[in-house]
């Protein structure tokens, strides 16, 4: 028998929205998958030919790009950051909606004009997206890489501006920051390893199942 297909899912906030979509696509993980006390990382499902792995959001892209997992669920922010050529993203899952934005302290924004920037220092988890965004209009971005709590950077003098995800805007507001530019709208995508897509027929069937699950959700 062929080895099971591996689907990588992020363990953070997307998971609760992804599970109903997986179920609608006919994939239900074993109970240990939702058990917070479980230390297991790879899980069987109701389908003998499919396993799930639970990894960090950024690592979903890495596992699938290298073919260690054949499919995955990941935010388009992560896809933009890495731009892996081996990743094919055929289905917008319509979950995990937010945006990647530039933000700065409210008092700074009151007198700031983004058109006048020539060099910016930015704290971010997304140095790739940030550099490309600013380079496209001739602005040099010096990035300080953080893995979370970017909103602290301006207050503590690490960098005057940040590039981070914004959804309700509450995190910015509670930290005295305002959004000054939206770089991109974000949603989660089904990603597939291009080689697996060509060589394993079951992958094509699964992509169709996810597409149907999304269409069903939209129609409901």
Ligand X SMILES: Nc1ncnc2c1ncn2[C@@H]1O[C@H](COP(=O)(O)OP(=O)(O)OP(=O)(O)O)[C@@H](O)[C@H]1O
Ligand Y SMILES: O=P(O)(O)OC[C@H]1O[C@H](OP(=O)(O)OP(=O)(O)O)[C@H](O)[C@@H]1O
CB 216, min distance to ligand Y, A: 27
Give whichever of 13 and 194 is closer to ligand X, judged by the CB atom. Answer: 13
- The C-alpha atoms of residue 174 and residue 159 are separated, in whole angstroms, by 18
Give whichever of 66 and 173 is closer to ligand Y, judged by the CB atom. Answer: 173
Partner in contact with 60, chosen from ligand X, ligand Y, none, beta carbon below 5 to 8 Å by kind: none
At residue 119, φ and ψ (nearest 5 deg) are: -145, 135
Residues 21-80, interacting with ligand X (CB under 6 A): 56-57, 75, 77-78
Using DSSP, state whether 18 is helix, strand or coil. Answer: helix
- The C-alpha atoms of residue 191 and residue 60 are separated, in whole angstroms, by 9
**Position of tokens 């770089």?**
183
Partner in contact with 184, chosen from ligand X, ligand Y, none, beta carbon below 5 to 8 Å by kind: none
Site string for ligand X, 122-161 (x = CB under 6 A): -------------------------xx-------------
Residue among 5, 6, 7, 10 that touches ligand X (CB under 6 A): 10
The DSSP secondary structure of 83-148, one letter per residue, reads --TTEEEEEE-S-S-EEEEEEEEHHHHTT--GGG-SEEEEEES-HHHHHHHHHTTT-EEEEEE-SS
Q: Which residues bind ligand Y (CB under 6 A)?
A: 13, 148-149, 164-171
Binding site for ligand X (CB under 6 A): 10, 12-14, 56-57, 75, 77-78, 96-98, 147-148, 165, 167, 186, 188
């Amino acid at each position: 028998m062929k080895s099971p297909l591996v689907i990588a899912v992020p363990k953070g906030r997307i998971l609760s929205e992804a599970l109903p979509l997986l179920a609608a696509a006919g994939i239900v993980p074993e109970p240990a998958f939702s058990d917070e006390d479980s230390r297991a990382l790879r899980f069987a499902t109701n389908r003998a030919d499919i396993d799930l792995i639970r990894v960090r959001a950024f690592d979903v892209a890495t596992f699938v790009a290298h073919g260690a997992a054949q499919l995955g669920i990941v935010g388009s922010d992560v896809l933009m950051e890495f731009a892996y050529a081996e990743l094919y993203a055929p289905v917008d899952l319509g979950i995990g909606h937010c945006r990647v934005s530039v933000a700065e302290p409210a008092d700074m924004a009151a007198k700031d004009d983004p058109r006048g920037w020539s060099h910016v220092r930015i704290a971010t988890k997304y140095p790739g997206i940030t550099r490309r965004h600013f380079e496209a209009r001739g602005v040099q971005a010096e990035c300080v890489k953080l893995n979370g709590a970017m909103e602290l950077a301006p207050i503590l003098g690490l960098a005057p501006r940040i590039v981070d995800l914004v959804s309700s805007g509450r995190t910015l507001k509670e930290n005295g920051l305002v959004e000054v530019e939206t770089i991109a709208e974000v949603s989660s995508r089904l990603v597939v390893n291009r080689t697996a897509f060509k060589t394993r027929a079951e992958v094509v069937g699964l992509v169709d199942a996810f597409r149907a699950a999304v269409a069903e959700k939209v129609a409901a």
